Amino acid sequence: MKLWQKENTVTSEKIERFTVGKDREMDLYLAEFDVLGNLAHATMLETIGLLTSEELTDLRAELKVIYDQIEKGSFVIEDGVEDVHSQVELMLTRKLGDTGKKIHSGRSRNDQVLVDMKLYTRNRLFQVVQATEKLFSTLIKKSEEHKNDLLPGYTHLQIAMPSSFGLWFGAYAEGLIDDVIQLNAAYRLANRNPLGSGAGYGSSFPLNRTLTTELLGFEGMHHNVVYAQMSRGRTEQAALTAISSLAATVSRLAMDVCLYNSQNFSFIVLPDDLTTGSSIMPHKKNPDVAELLRAKTNRMKALPMEITMVLSNLPSGYHRDMQLLKEILMPAFDEILDCLDIASFMLENMKIKQNLLDDAKYDLLFSVERVNELVINGVPFRDAYKQVGAEIADGSYAAQRVLKHTHEGSIGNLQSKEIEERMKKEIGAFGYDKVTAALEELLKM
């Protein structure tokens, strides 16, 4: 069954296989959101006289049966049925006859796909935010636990100044806040209602788009019906740009873990059950989890460009090219959620080594402390810098390992509470409780 198929027309099986592609597989991701869109649309149709109250009652009841099947995992797109939209309409028509056929009034498959994708993307983005918050909490906890454990700081991969595990963990925690801000920007693009735009040119029916916007918990609607269709691709690109930014943060963290776990650095220890061995070298404990995190997240950095290439040179209006966006976007959500979960698990079980900077090879890390000591005692900075340089050159330099870092964000003042408050504020800006309340109400009607 195809929503667009006319009587006495048959599409070549070869062409159908090529044009449908992975759409049936991808559409299973959209099933629950298609039902929610149908519930909102049917409710609106009744208010403008295109459905009777009895028909609306019947449609709501059957749509909730389908929703329950989706929740239980028993919903399928049958052989010969093109997509999830066709499957839901087919199920309604089997049960309700002509009433089921009325559900598509005032709607095109174009805006039906669009609203499903908006609802899906909005939902999945917030799942990513929640997983990011979990990783953030792990990092903050580790930062506080190890705030007094010093670590070499590097520039150009040369030892530079004293750092700490508190600073290292905390740096990645604060970096995640910027990623959440980008996720929010993508979320806001997804959180606008395209329903009622039809094929991109509206409808002669007096559709109440404000009502469906409220029923589905959207922040607002795409007002211009042409732009509503043009937003497809832009929303997906914004989502993948935010995911790629988050992936870059996790990738950099994974690279640090690979370095710090190696014998040449030897700053951290990954437990045996987080490592793998070698088929020939019995001593090996390989950080495969960090290496695969690095590879998977690095690969995700390319996803926004894939979207860009699919959308290149498209004029306004709908084009079938956009079908391929699902295959790029949907697996990315599963991948980043898996990576965030594994990253949290790895950090929770990772052990750090203490007293690292007691080793004489790190003496030069404290040269700036010596410079600052001279400055405090009245020596001009440039003269103090030259004096310590001369001490290092002639071998008279002696490292003083007492640190006096007290300013905001330094070793002795991590500002963890302030960082936590900022993250809390950014997550609160999503307003997802409004979405949850609206959808719960829609399912109760």
**What's the pTM value of the predicted model, to 2 decimals?**
0.92
- Alpha carbon distance 209, 263 (integer Å): 62
- Alpha carbon distance 214, 64 (integer Å): 19
What pLDDT does 224 receive? 96
| Residue 370, both tokens | 């010596």
Residue written as token pair 């410079």: 371
Q: Which residues contact 141 (CB under 8 A, 6 or more apart)?
A: none
DSSP 141-158: HHHHHTTTSEEEEEETTE
**pLDDT of residue 235 exceeding 90:** yes
Residue 164, phi then psi, degrees to nearest 5: -150, 160
In the chain, the domains with their CATH numbers are 13-105 (1.10.275.10), 110-197+221-351 (1.20.200.10), 366-408 (no CATH)
* Across 395-400, average pLDDT: 94
- Alpha carbon distance 439, 443 (integer Å): 6
List, for residues 54-105, the tens digit of each pLDDT value: 999 999 999 999 999 999 999 999 988 889 999 999 999 999 999 999 999 9
* Across 362-379, average pLDDT: 96
Do the strands 150-155 and 158-164 form a parallel or antiparallel pair, or are they unpaired? Answer: antiparallel
- Helix and strand counts by DSSP (H, E) for the chain: 18, 6
* Across 166-170, average pLDDT: 98
What pLDDT does 299 receive? 96
What pLDDT does 21 receive? 60
Closest CA to 190 of 239, 223, 229, 230: 239
Distance of CA 400 to the CA centre of its chain: 45
**C-alpha distances in Å from residue 7, one per residue of 44, 214, 445:** 30, 37, 36
Do the strands 192-193 and 351-352 form a parallel or antiparallel pair, or are they unpaired? Answer: unpaired
Closest CA to 346 of 284, 281, 294, 398: 294
List, for residues 313-324, the tens digit of each pLDDT value: 888 888 888 888
Q: Which residues contact 268 (CB under 8 A, 6 or more apart)?
A: 257, 260, 261, 350, 351, 352, 353
What pLDDT does 19 receive? 57
The count of C-alpha atoms lying within 13 angstroms of the C-alpha of 191, restricted to the half-sphere facing its C-beta, is: 24
| Residue 310, both tokens | 């699919």
**pLDDT of residue 273 exceeding 90:** no
CA angle 408, 413, 419 (to 5 degrees): 70
Long-range Cβ contacts of 335-339 (<8 Å, 24+ apart)? 335/296, 335/300, 336/128, 336/131, 336/243, 336/246, 336/247, 336/297, 336/300, 337/127, 337/128, 337/131, 338/296, 339/247, 339/250, 339/293, 339/296, 339/297
Using only C-alpha atoms, the chain has a radius of gyration, in whole angstroms, of 29
Provide the pLDDT confidence category of residue 8 given band limits of 50, 70 and 90: low
The count of C-alpha atoms lying within 13 angstroms of the C-alpha of 226, restricted to the half-sphere facing its C-beta, is: 3
What pLDDT does 9 receive? 60
388-417: b or e for each residue (b if 16 or more CB lie within 10 Å)? beeeeeeeebeeeeebeeeeeeebeebebe
Provide the pLDDT confidence category of residue 361 given band limits of 50, 70 and 90: very high
**pLDDT of residue 123 exceeding 90:** yes
* Across 293-302, average pLDDT: 96
* Across 167-190, average pLDDT: 98
Contact in structure between 110 and 200 (CB atoms under 8 Å): yes
What pLDDT does 321 receive? 83
* Across 357-385, average pLDDT: 96
* Across 15-25, average pLDDT: 63
Closest CA to 101 of 112, 114, 88: 88
Helical residues (DSSP H) of 268-411, grouped into ranges? 288-300, 303-311, 325-349, 367-376, 381-394
What pLDDT does 103 receive? 95
What pLDDT does 4 receive? 44
**By CB neighbour count within 10 A (0-12 exposed, 13-18 middle, 19+ buried), where does 160 fall?**
middle
